[in-house]
Structure 1
């Protein structure tokens, strides 16, 4: 969940734009167009090349662009915040609904699965009809559902609200980089994508960190009401926002009623809807390198993120007899580890690739990037071993920080692996970057969804140390091992 949409950092396929800038495009500019761009941007060397229309999102004032990007970052943050934020309430909800704590954890795992699949549905629709109407409706729907969640009296009712919330809130994870690509030039996208991608990563541990205090002092009902307040604020802000989908090769006037035009419910794009758009990302399964990266990233994500977030109440809460507020503080380790991993992954990967390209005389070999991923695999394995061994040594009620150090190391490694493998997978098929990302997100989230079904039984029968050893072996074989195979094949092809 922490990196459920990192792939979008490099996905620009669905952006409505002119062809990339070239000398012929510059010389073909009219005098008026040239003068407008020089006045507005101080240059015509821009990619993509904006039109001379002030309504073109690329021509908007910087404050307006930043508002839109920060707004999508806020909603992206809330998607993982709300899914993971239920963990401090697992025990009281289990008691209220007459189920076990592991069964209550399915509230989070079900949302993980839904957020993996629903972007396949939302992306084609949002590319054609615009992003704003879907984002407006989704936040209002989530606000209503979260209010209902506060009044649910049965397990089935609550599961229904959680699944529906995940279905609607996933519009944000589907639209993150699309909004950035609509608003930012190519040289700005790295920094601007970093805003929402970091929000997505931090949302996973930040959810239970904050809701633990709410659970302790106000009760489970107010966790849902807090979610609803967040959604309603987002709804109000999206009403103030504007549509970012803009086609530069035609006039963007549309025939629609004033209300429909205000809410955005009319076609924005020249693209033709086809049901095949929903299934096209699954074709990436035929790409060997992409599939190997998807498996490796999915296994690592499950055992270095999902297990640490979802099982925290059942592991630390029960072992050390922590209340909801004390339990929430345990997630600080994951927040710190995730941020460190995200900071290390991107710059190190870019520096390493630049070095390799220079060493090869200007030739880019995509598998060179994989060298950096092994650092992440090592950190994940080391972190899980420390986490498992020290949990086995811990005495009930005698809290120790040692397992959390291991969790932080594993979280850092997970972010390194995710960032590097996503970049590698997209490099393998850059023409279909969005499809690659959606395929990876689907597999990763579904695999993560399955984990909570067997995690409790694994820990009960194997204990924490041997369980950590088993997870490390899976990461080593299906993570580092699979990427090693792709690496060797790629190097041989480029000799």
Structure 2
């Protein structure tokens, strides 16, 4: 018996018998609970099983659930939108603050670092005390800080606003998995997780695309004002949202005194344990989750961050593009990401239903991984097309060929992100918030390191050689681990 097969023996069951699970649920439910679920959902074959309380988020109307998930997706989008949206303003800010362009890029790097670290603090607090007060407050504070950013006169002042924005907007950055876990059943997770994962991915090219026009026609100050407007819209929308934290097992919290004034809840039957802040890292012992996180992080770095961050250098300088012309290039990445989501969320949920039916009611979670291989193929093909055609391009003569490759790679990244997030949560369904935090930390920190070596890689290997290296890394450290997980899970089934 290998170490790999033993590493998470005590962890989650990877094979479920849907039919036997339904019969067991029917026997355990009291008549009133059974009748309520049949009236509300038309079935008791639900995972997870809701309570008979209409306030249980799983019992909310579908429109209300979708509103909440789309709202957290919007806030997730805004985080990467604002971090990457500064790209067209690097040159003007470098001139105003008397710094180099690489140093101006630290405004983005600082926020990426905050996205990786701060959710480890925010998400456990939000899952315990309630999410809405944190999200309402953070949206308003970010709006104020972005207004201040438009009036900063020095590098230090602007860096302070960027760091604080990164800290506060990160309340939403890794909370998407928690929202989906509280609002969606297992058969919906592929699609619903796809919404916020698509928002996160699209935010990186979406920011430079929009802000390139703003920078060209209104100036740097209005880049920050656009960020502030987006944050204020979120603030208003959160005021109309209901709290999604619900203590299904045990008494419901009572809001008293200062907690009631702040809108916070408190679990009366369970104190907040300090280990929740480092508990996500325990998932390193869950082989399925760990491998999925590594694969998703590799894909995100080389099929999203490298394309977004290096596009000004790769195409802007090569083809002599101004800020507005450069913004057009990001359309390819946005289109690719949207197509990737259309080929991921619905498809993976449909595929799982098909596999369950084919297996006679048996649910094997590694079946979902078949869809992820489409993503790895797209990334490899897209990166090679992107790199080779950039290598062959003539300075000053724009061609669309590299953008086609970038779009294909972006589609592959979103397929992988959606499918592997759903798979990781399936592998540790009772630890969905921890899965989101663990994935976010690894993905953000690995992505944060990329811009430090990307320029040297392109200088030493050229675009074609760099594309070959990145493709090899995606195959070895992305597809390779997931194939191993797939084989291992299929044998245990």
Per-residue deviation, 1:64: 4.7
Give CA-to-partner distance per residue, 1:296-340, whole Å, 9 cap, x none: 221221111100011122222211121111111111100111111
Equivalent residue for 1:330? 329
Q: Partners of 1:103 and 1:322 in 2: how far apart?
A: 21
8 Å Cα contact 2:190/2:419 also seen in 1: no
Matched, 1:23 2:26: yes
Q: 1:334 to 1:168 in 2, by over 3 A?
A: same
* Structure 2 equivalent of residue 101 of structure 1: 101
Give CA-to-partner distance per residue, 1:42-70, whole Å, 9 cap, x none: 75748543445x65545656655554343
Q: Are the aligned partners of 1:245 and 1:268 in contact in 2 as well (CA < 8 Å)? A: no
Distance 1:465 1:483, change over 3 A: same
The residue number in structure 2 matching 1:8 is none
Could you tell me how far apart the structure 1 residues matched to 2:218 and 2:119 are? 34
The structural deviation recorded for 1:381 is 1.2
Shift of 1:113: 2.5
Q: In the TM superposition, what whole-angstrom CA distance separates every residue of 1:76-120 from its partner, at most 9, and x where no partner exists?
A: 221121112111112222232333333322322332232122222
Q: Tell me what 2:10 maps to.
A: none
Q: Could you tell me how far apart the structure 1 residues matched to 2:282 and 2:41 are? A: 43
Q: Is 1:212 equivalent to 2:215 in the alignment?
A: no
**Residues 23 and 413 of structure 1: is their aligned pair in 2 closer, same or farther, counting only changes over 3 Å?**
same
Which residue is 2:50 aligned to?
Answer: 49
More off after superposition, 54-63 vs 228-237: 54-63
Shift of 1:198: 3.2
RMSD: 3.1
Structure 1, unmatched stretches of 5+, are 1-18
2:450 matches 1:447: no
Aligned to 2:155: 155
CA distance in 2, matches of 1:78, 1:176: 13
SS in 1 for 2:315: helix
Q: Deviations over 1:102-143 (max 9, x none)?
A: 332232233223212222211211111101111111112211
Matched position secondary structure for 1:22: helix
After superposing the two structures, state which structure 1 stretch, 171-180 or 357-366, moved more.
357-366
Give runs of ≥4 in structure 1 deviating > 6 Å: 36-39
Query: For residues 38-77 of structure 1, what are the structure 2 equivalents within 5 Å?
Result: 41=40, 43=42, 45=44, 47=46, 48-52=49-53, 55-57=55-57, 64-77=64-77
Task: Tell me the SS of whatever aligns to 2:215.
Answer: helix
Deviations 1:218-240 (A, max 9, x none): 11111111111221222233233
Q: Is 1:222 aligned to residue 226 of structure 2?
A: no
Q: In the alignment, which residue of structure 2 is the partner of 1:375?
A: 374
Q: Distance in 2 between matches of 1:381 and 1:80?
A: 24
Q: 1:189-240: per-residue Cα shift (whole Å, max 9, x none)?
A: 6555544443333222221111111101111111111111221222233233
CA separation of 1:126 and 1:89: change in aligned 2, threshold 3 A: same
Quote the offset at 1:181 in angstroms.
Answer: 4.5
Q: Secondary structure at the match of 2:295?
A: helix
Equivalent residue, structure 1, for 2:120: 120
Change beyond 3 A, Cα 1:255–1:101: closer
Shift of 1:264: 0.6
CA contact (8 A) 1:150 1:224 kept: yes
2:380, 2:353 → 1: CA distance?
A: 28
Which residue pairs with 2:301 in the alignment? Answer: 302
Query: 2:312 aligns to what?
Result: 313
What's 2:338 paired with? 339
Match of 1:5 in 2: none
The size of the alignment, in residue pairs, is 471
- TM-score, length-normalised on structure 2? 0.85
CA distance in 2, matches of 1:42, 1:490: 32
Is the Cα–Cα contact under 8 Å of residues 102 and 452 in structure 1 kept in the other structure?
no
Q: What secondary structure, in the 3-state scheme, does the structure 1 residue paired with 2:434 have?
A: helix
SS at match of 2:172: helix
2:254 aligned residue: 254
Please tell me whether residue 143 in structure 1 is matched to residue 146 in structure 2: no
CA distance in 2, matches of 1:357, 1:64: 29
Q: 2:278: which partner in 1?
A: 279
| Residue 435 of structure 1, CA deviation | 2.4
